[in-house]
A and B are shown apart, each in its own frame.
Chain A
Amino acid sequence: MTQNHELCKGCGYCILQCPKDALSLSSTVNRKGYNVVDLDQEKCILCAICYTVCPDSVFERVEA
């Protein structure tokens, strides 16, 4: 999964819905002033649920 952190508004919906607890709110703040989301690649199963729920198009699943 790729992330465009600049689009994130820190709402946390992806964190609530990720089935593998791979997402967490980070202390990094983007240019809009929102805390962005950290993705733990080790835990991620590429289900793309985060893509589906994110209101701000932060995630994409691309060919490896």
Chain B
Amino acid sequence: MTEKRTPNLLVEPNKFCPGCGHGIINRVLAEVLEESGLADYAVGSLAVGCSCLMMDTFGTDWVQAPHGRAAAVAVGLKRMRPDCCIFTYQGDGDSMAIGFSETLYAAIRNENITAILVNNGIFGMTGGQMAPTSLPGQRTTTSPKGRDAGTTGQPLNMVDQMKHLPIGYLARGSVASAKDINKLKKYIKAAIETQMNGGGYSMVEVLSFCPTNWKMSMEKSVAHVQNTVKNIFPVGEFVKNGERTDA
């Protein structure tokens, strides 16, 4: 039986809330970087949100970008250090609201970086405001009666924005079961491999939990992703080795 050890890249206990999906995604990313021999060659780009709590606990090098601009900073890093594994790690508020342009243009230019975009349907760190990914009818502090898609539009589907582009790899996974987490690890591994093989832009969106701002128990949070969020944001691999999979 193989051992299962906490990756050394998790240098300190994380600072996320109980049951937060970021903790799971952090561990999976740390496993992939270590297993790929990239722990000492990986540099992450962070902007705002709960992902910034990783600066002290996740043992790669980091660069702090301005709000939303992690992809632009990552592109600069990659152009200067093509030997390094360069990734962004951002929430949906950060990467898809304020940073929509930087996130999408890195894909449009097929920049050789990896983006990890955590979709928890809300602005977590600032106390639960509506995000581009909030579901129709979802109650948040800025949509107390539920998101009205008539005035705010439909949720932003970043995979749909990117899947027609000539990029290297595109997938959406989830943290809502052990099976999903194992698949997520394969997606992140494929994304990082794409980058290190010079295969162009790679992005993995992750459906995650924010039990604190959802004001949901763990049980309800898991059911919410499985039964509701996945219907609006389907999971799977959408582009592999530069080819559409038609998932």
Contacts and interface: CB of A to CB of B under 8 A. Distances in A.
Partners in one complex: yes
B24 interface: yes
Contacts of B21: 55
Interface stretch (B10-18, B68-76, B121-129): B10-18
B145 interface: no
Interface stretch (B146-154, B175-183, B188-196, B199-207): B175-183
Contacts of B6: 57, 60
B218 A13 contact: yes
Contact of B219 (A16, A48, A51, A59): A16
Contact of A9 (B2, B19, B178, B222): B19
Contacts, number: 66
B1 interface: yes
A4 B10 CA distance: 14
Given A12-B218, A13-B218, A34-B18, A55 B23 contact: yes
Interface residues of B, number: 29
B163 to A, nearest CB: 28
A60 B23 contact: no
A62 B182 CA distance: 19
A63 interface: yes
Given A7-B13, A11-B211, A61-B1, A53 B18 contact: no
A26 interface: no
Interface residues of A, number: 24
Contacts of A13: 19, 218, 222
A52 B181 contact: yes
B22 interface: yes
30 contacts: A9-B17, A9-B19, A10-B18, A11-B211, A11-B218, A12-B19, A12-B218, A13-B19, A13-B218, A16-B218, A16-B222, A34-B18, A46-B1, A48-B4, A49-B178, A52-B182, A53-B181, A54-B23, A54-B24, A55-B21, A56-B13, A57-B6, A60-B3, A60-B5, A60-B6, A61-B2, A61-B3, A62-B5, A63-B1, A63-B3
Given A11-B218, A54-B23, A57-B10, 8 more contacts: A7-B13, A9-B18, A16-B218, A16-B219, A57-B13, A60-B4, A61-B2, A61-B3
